[in-house]
A and B are shown apart, each in its own frame.
Chain A
Amino acid sequence: MSNMLTVKEPHPPGDFAIWIIIYVELLTFALLFLGFAFSRRSDIEMFNASQLQLDQISGFINTLILITSSYFVAKAVQSIKHMTDERIKEASRAAARWLLFAIVSAGGFLVVKMLDFIHVFGQGITLSTNKFFMFYIMLTVFHFMHVLLGSFILTVLYRKTKAQGYTQNDHKGLETGASYWHMVDLLWIVLFPLVYIIR
């Protein structure tokens, strides 16, 4: 306990650069969310009717998947942070396992989302169908690309963790990647109710 008091936790965690990226991403999505909200006000009936064409169950499953994957990533970071010098091997292995779970979850999200896209695009819906679907496609495709990039980042983290590349004192890279993944999760948590649920 005493050494925890003397060592100040660096905030925000991870590299400073990732926080610039996170804020820019949040800003970009915020503009899209605002655009959605204002456009919805001008034609609520059309937005509500279009929303019914979406598969809410798959959206809900994906929400659970992403939140769970964030939990896995947090567990991985915890394993590394709390490891002792004697247990580097075990802690790295445990952290790598958590990251693997997270990667599998991300893959699950991508599969479910692809099925959702097949369902939507199968109905002949395009960016020009109406404003609801324009926002739906822009938001979800943009987010989908973030999950893809996030999966890649998680894979890089996984490989380095497995090779015992992070220690209790040196795990900035892991926290950087974890911060990005939590942002991807956070964006979906706003996106899902906004686009799929709220009427």
Chain B
Amino acid sequence: MKYSSQMVAKPYFIFALILLAGEILFGLLMAIQYLYGDFLFPLIPFNVLRMVHTNLLIVLLLFGFMGATYYLIPEETETELWSPKLAIITFWVFAAAGVATILGYLFVPYAQLTELTFNNLLPTMGREFLEQPLPTKLGIVLVVVSYILNVIMTVIKGRKTVITTVLITGLVGLAVFFLFAFYVPHNLIMDKFFWWFTVHLWVEATWELILGAILAFVLIKVTGVDREHIDKWLYLIIAMTMLSGILGTGHHFFYMGAPEYWLWIGSIASAVEPLPFFLMILFAYTMTRERKIQHGNKIALTWAKGTAVMAFLGAGVWGFIHTLAPVNMFTHGTQLTAAHGHLSFFGAYVMIIFTMVSYAMPILRGRPQGNSQKAQNLELASFWMMNIGMMGLTLALSAAGIVQILDQRVGTELIGFMESQESIAGIYMIRAGFGLLVFAGLFTYFASFFVKEEAGQTAGYNA
């Protein structure tokens, strides 16, 4: 660790991982509810579980991004963080607000929660993924603004790099597009437009910049490849991401009352969307091949390459499967969408946080060349458990989606929703199994932190 202020990243990383455990736990509970509908009834209904599951994901990713940023910004700018104290304060504010919100979801009926949190003053609640009460939403704005302020002030006084520029662009985008969460038009179609301006432009435009910047940072560190070489790739990838991603918003405007031309704009732009992800794979593997150093933290490079591959599969391939308008007419809102959602969030965003944590955490704990070989081996096992688990879960959900489409949307002999769900029960069982594997993988990952360092061995790589 070169700068003492990088230390503030640590609580962010730890809390992000704890939230991830919570997220997966609630996912598993839902997987059981898919099989046994009255499981946990009437304690926690499905809609509440789902809200907790998705909100935890968003919050954990924000914590992860913040931790990653606080770690990489001092090194990129070659100066201490502008205000480590502010970073620590926002951590506690955000953590407290996050926990309070989740507890609110779990213990207060949602309708009552809206009354308690002044939703009548400015109605913003009830929209998928943006269910947070007004005070939480305002808190998010406050936290994000102070976070961006901290980053920008640090960059102003230090070195400016392509990575910091891309990262700040992504962060500012993240903040700006969240503001649409405060605007809920009465017209349902308009409402969907503005809702997607937050949701889509987060995950398929601005967050991808953050992902690209973090990936480029880790690759520079573990491969020793020249910055100029990586910068060009980064520019290329983000330019393509932004253009295809912004126009790709159109794929959410299919068959919802929006004009017909969105079918074409959405289909064509999103047909291009997998390409920057494919470039990301080329990027990661080319950098690995041309690496100039053998970094002791080999597992971090494994995570980096894994991120590129899984992001391409989840966001690129699984997105493309159902993005063309004529296909989407049949697949919309089935488990195929869930399959895409799971693998893309895991592959692109959860994986990049694992990448950063695996690279930075050992350094923050005084092991500049990574954890011991034993710990890295255990972490490698967790890498495969989680990846195989997520892949299996995605394939199971895809199969479920296809059965759903055949049951309910193709041909003339169609059956009802519940009847179709029953015919998928076996597949849901398999899905729950793979979900369990992911959960076990996460705990194996945790365990790798506690592997005792052997005397005299400081690095995983001995050559």
- Taken residue by residue from 239 to 266, chain B's Cβ proximity to chain A (1 for < 8 Å, 0 otherwise) reads as 1100000000000000000011100110
Q: Write out the residue numbers on chain A whose beta carbons fall within 8 Å of the beta carbon of B388.
A: none
- Taken residue by residue from 217 to 258, chain B's Cβ proximity to chain A (1 for < 8 Å, 0 otherwise) reads as 000000000000000110110011000000000000000000
- Taken residue by residue from 6 to 50, chain A's Cβ proximity to chain B (1 for < 8 Å, 0 otherwise) reads as 000000000101001100100110011001000000000000000
Beta-carbon contact of A138 and B272 below 8 Å = no
Beta-carbon contact of B261 and A134 below 8 Å = yes
Q: How far is the CB of B94 from chain A (nearest CB, A)?
A: 38
Instruction: Please measure, in the bound complex, the distance between the C-alpha atom of A16 and the C-alpha atom of B174, giving whole angstroms.
Output: 31
Beta-carbon contact of A128 and B261 below 8 Å = yes
Q: Say yes or no: is B440 at the interface (Cβ < 8 Å to chain A).
A: no
Beta-carbon contact of B268 and A24 below 8 Å = no
The number of inter-chain residue pairs (CB within 8 angstroms) is 35
Residue of B whose beta carbon sits closest to that of A23? B275
Beta-carbon contact of B268 and A31 below 8 Å = yes
Given contacts A17-B232, A20-B236, A20-B279, contact A134 B260 (CB under 8 A): yes
Q: Write out the residue numbers on chain A whose beta carbons fall within 8 Å of the beta carbon of B235.
A: 17
Given contacts A17-B236, A21-B236, contact A128 B272 (CB under 8 A): no
28 interchain pairs (CB within 8 A)? A15-B232, A17-B232, A17-B233, A17-B235, A17-B236, A20-B236, A21-B236, A21-B239, A21-B240, A24-B240, A24-B272, A24-B275, A27-B272, A28-B268, A28-B269, A31-B268, A35-B264, A127-B259, A127-B261, A128-B259, A128-B260, A128-B261, A134-B260, A134-B261, A135-B264, A138-B261, A138-B264, A138-B265
Interface SS, A side: helix
Q: Write out the residue numbers on chain B whose beta carbons fall within 8 Å of the beta carbon of A28.
A: 268-269, 272
Q: Which of A91-143 contact B (CB under 8 A)?
A: 127-128, 134-135, 138
Q: Which of B2-27 contact A (CB under 8 A)?
A: none
Nearest 4 CB-CB pairings of A with B:
A127-B261, A31-B268, A134-B261, A17-B236
Instruction: Please measure, in the bound complex, the distance between the C-alpha atom of A32 and the C-alpha atom of B266, giving whole angstroms.
Output: 12
Q: Write out the residue numbers on chain A whose beta carbons fall within 8 Å of the beta carbon of B269.
A: 28
Q: Write out the residue numbers on chain A whose beta carbons fall within 8 Å of the beta carbon of B268.
A: 28, 31-32, 35
Q: Write out the residue numbers on chain B whose beta carbons fall within 8 Å of the beta carbon of A27.
A: 272
Beta-carbon contact of A134 and B264 below 8 Å = yes
Q: Say yes or no: is B271 at the interface (Cβ < 8 Å to chain A).
A: yes
Residue of A whose beta carbon sits closest to that of B239? A21
Instruction: Please measure, in the bound complex, the distance between the C-alpha atom of A138 and the C-alpha atom of B263, giving whole angstroms.
Output: 12
Instruction: Please measure, in the bound complex, the distance between the C-alpha atom of A31 and the C-alpha atom of B240, giving whole angstroms.
Output: 17
Q: Write out the residue numbers on chain B whose beta carbons fall within 8 Å of the beta carbon of A21.
A: 236, 239-240
Q: How far is the CB of A107 from chain B (nearest CB, A)?
A: 24
* Inter-chain pairs besides A135-B264, A138-B264, 11 sampled, C-beta below 8 Å: A15-B232, A20-B279, A21-B240, A27-B272, A28-B269, A128-B259, A128-B260, A134-B260, A134-B264, A138-B261, A138-B265
Q: How far is the CB of A140 from chain B (nearest CB, A)?
A: 14
